[in-house]
Amino acid sequence: MIDLSPLFQLDFWFRLDPVGLNTVFETAFFFLFAIFIILASVSRIIARQKKGDRFAVKAYKLLGQMFMTMGILGMLWFFFTFEEIYFLGARFWFLLWLVALIVWLIGIYRYIKIIVPEMKNHGKEKAEANKYLPRKK
């Protein structure tokens, strides 16, 4: 059984001397970061195919940027950890990566659930007001 108690100790996360990863974790981290890069490609392909809704296109592009950036940064961290490089392979970089991922996801969620409906309502109100204004002939 896996002992999870070291995860709750600061020394585990902020120790600078690298410790090699278990083969299970090596495989899991590699596939996690590879999946992020694949998801980035998929979301960009979907963004290209969605022509009608500009808000959906921007949301897919934001997701693609996040997945690509976090996938590449994760692969870099994985490489440094795999090679047991002193400072750059430290575990606190993964914590920083995880916090950045969560903040980025919150920003994208905020865009999709709060900003897009406001912009759509603003567009409807503007169209409603513009129908009474004279146009050039």
d(CA 57, CA 46): 8
d(CA 66, CA 103): 11
CA 120 to chain centre: 25
How many Cβ atoms are within 10 Å of 78's Cβ, its own excluded? 20
Q: And the tokens for 94? A: 């993964």
Contact by Cβ (8 Å): 74, 29 = yes
Q: What is the pLDDT of residues 14-67, one digit of tens each?
A: 888 767 778 888 899 999 999 999 999 999 999 999 888 889 999 999 999 999
**What pTM, to 2 d.p., does this model score?**
0.83
